[in-house]
Amino acid sequence: MDKKTKKNLALRTTKFLHLIVSTGLFCGCWWFFCREYFDSPDMIGYTVAGGLIFCVMILLLGRIYDIYSVGTARVSYLIYSHGLTFLITDALVYVIISLILLKLTNPIPILILFAAHMIWSVLWSIFENWLYFKVSPPRATVIVYDDPNELYKLGELGKFKRKFNVVKRVSASVGIDAVKEEIKEAEIVFLIGVELEMRSALSKECVVRGAQCYVMPRVGDILLHGADQMHTFSVPFLRVHGAVPTLEYLFIKRAFDIIASLLAIIITSPFMLITAIAIKVYDRGPVLYKQTRLTRGHKQFKVLKFRSMRVDAEKDGVARLSTEHDDRITPIGKIIRKIRFDELPQLFNILKGDMTIVGPRPERPEIAEQYEKEIPSFGLRLQVKAGLTGYAQVYGKYNTEPYDKLKMDLLYINNMCLGEDIRLMFATVKILFMPESTEGIADGQVTASHVENATTSCAEETERLEEIK
């Protein structure tokens, strides 16, 4: 057995152990606290069935919340992910038990189960993180780039020094042969903005040598990713097309939007009332903020939000995103933005049909117009209805560049289905308590466009990247 296989076996064994112990804790809690409600012969069957349901739920939610993303996430992130997974799973188990018994049962056992799961998760996360880096030392990493001004996008590599050992950065301008020579000892290669011909050659080179290759895709790559394989001809073809959701999917999606938005409005109405009162008491201004946004086919509508900025926030007439230290945001606004309460009125937009729960976030016409001048393909995200949350919101940030947001939105559009919508809804819960996801654009910027604000010289960018190493 080679070293790589041994490493994978060790890590997979500990992940399997995590699942077994987590399920064992559930079964033990179920048996101890619920045996008084069932006859002894039935109890064994209920425990086995409950354990299987619990195991499946952990696998599904664990995949959404990345509870096994050891090596690419901090221990605190792993613990947070486990907390969300077990909180939702244990709560659903409590609901199932109550439905079976047709009454609300004592919640103390479930709270004890959640506490036990969290203690186990903390211990497992610390051990698994230690084990991963024990058997996986930092790997020699080479970054190949075309435009030095795009190197800043890999600034986050500095957070993963125990995984990626950046040994050099190579400009694609030196030519394919020279780059191949530079990466021949690399275990990991990052390709940033490299042209198609070189990208293909270097990807093949990495595959042949057994090295990992991380490619930053372009819009064309993502469109190909969503293409259909054609077998009509004797040679392979990929059929590229726009968004083609089925009528059944659209019907189910709209029905779900109506039901979910109605329930959410009822559940959150006390919070919306408190928020409205707080905004009104603070400065006597309007509670709601209406703003023109774009949805499918460039159709305009008025999005509803709780007002988080001063009444005269755009008295200069310039449409701009909020910045990192935006003095236009009121003290109440800072609170409701942090906990996302400012977005709650958009539930009425969803109920009306202007928006959907999952889809690309709606942009302002003025900002979208500027983005489309810089990125002609930016309008591709308007193939579908705008949403309250989406792929770019879950995996990007508020200040993510528009071109990168476009790519993430297209990844969703290419894979639209009910399962993906549900997955993104659950994943949205995770980012609600992650402050970096609402990180504003830099002070002095108007939009998130890097083109508009790219004033840093190539030399300064290269110097900044020394921090990665």
Give me the pLDDT at residue 391, please.
Answer: 93
Give me the pLDDT at residue 362, please.
Answer: 94
Mean pLDDT for 263-282 is 95
36-40 long-range contacts (CB < 8 A, ≥24 apart) are: 37/101, 37/105
Whole-number Å distance between alpha carbons of 69 and 395:
15
pLDDT in tens, 257-267: 999 999 999 99
Beta strand 139-145 pairing with 188-192: parallel
Whole-number Å distance between alpha carbons of 281 and 466:
50
**What letter does residue 309 receive in the DSSP assignment?**
B
Q: Which residue has the higher pLDDT, 465 or 308?
A: 308
Please report, rounded to a whole number, the percentage of residues in the chain having pLDDT higher than 70: 88
Q: What is the CA radius of gyration of the chain?
A: 25
Given a cut of 60, whether residue 454 has pLDDT beyond it is no
167 pLDDT band, cuts 50/70/90, is very high
| 74 and 128 Cβ atoms separated by less than 8 Å | no
Beta strand 139-145 pairing with 164-171: parallel
Given a cut of 80, whether residue 101 has pLDDT beyond it is no
| 357 and 388 Cβ atoms separated by less than 8 Å | yes
323 pLDDT band, cuts 50/70/90, is low
* 290 bridge partner residues: 304
pLDDT in tens, 335-369: 998 888 999 999 999 999 999 999 999 999 999 99
Given a cut of 80, whether residue 37 has pLDDT beyond it is no
Angle CA(378)–CA(216)–CA(7) in degrees, nearest 5?
145
- DSSP, collapsed to helix, strand or coil, labels residue 289 as strand
